[in-house]
Structure 1
């Protein structure tokens, strides 16, 4: 289990773009289960949409990529402080099945399926109350900075 302080050791993101609140499970080299609590106080709801707040799908994808980043950094035993960054390299097979609204807790389950030449591939799903929200294949690249 990792709290937000521990997560910040593995991700360079900060408010308002740190989109993972807690890591519930992590098996290095295999999978991660993390979540984000969605509140009405999210800045994005000022414009998306003020009278019908829906958490943007692109931010769900980014949150999944951040979960993949934590898994990748932990697996490689690296942190951004080591001069490494984990970049979003691609996305395939994205599907959105349910809206995410204030009050939801979104779980991100990402499983590593391959890594070749510094490009890691993950199968990811996001769920709320055990209902599928989003699924995607995400690719990330480990690069020196």
Structure 2
């Protein structure tokens, strides 16, 4: 298993606090997949406004966390090192549950298609084994 801590993740992807949404990578194979985690804390900035009466992690940020997990897989390929993976689209997205402060969000993104700088990742986010988000994420690697 190839694991990465937050400092090692930041050597691969350009995201930084407060927008780095993965805490660790449990396992990954460059160009194939990555499995990561985000410990969701009540102190996250977005909880101040989403929602004050019921703190729920925004779905678009869960998608971003899944995209960052996939970026670890695609940007760890030697020819992509030092580049950026940009969103190209989101397909087949389903929100199936909510993420709350205290949850451990498991993020799994598998690269299912690549042609040149463009590709697709199949992404699943879970909490305690329950699926909360599924999607296909299209990306483009660029400078």
Question: Is the contact between residue 9 and residue 79 of structure 1 (CA under 8 Å) also seen in structure 2?
Answer: no
Unaligned runs of 5+ in 1: none
Q: Secondary structure at the match of 1:71?
A: helix
1:99 is matched with 98
1:142 is matched with 141
2:59 is matched with 57
1:127 is matched with 126
Would you identify which runs of 4 or more consecutive aligned residues in structure 1 move more than 2 Å? 75-80
Q: Secondary structure at the match of 2:4?
A: coil
2:110 is matched with 111
CA offset at residue 77 of structure 1? 5.1
CA offset at residue 79 of structure 1? 3.1
* Residue number among 45, 57, 67 corresponding to 1:43 in the alignment: 45
Q: Secondary structure at the match of 2:67?
A: helix
TM (norm. structure 2) is 0.95
* In structure 2, distance between residues paired with 1:69 and 1:130: 23
Q: Deviations over 1:68-114 (max 9, x none)?
A: 1111011245433xxx2111111100000010000001011111111
* In structure 2, distance between residues paired with 1:14 and 1:74: 17
CA offset at residue 120 of structure 1? 1.3
2:89 is matched with 90
* In structure 1, distance between residues paired with 2:84 and 2:31: 17
TM (norm. structure 1) is 0.93
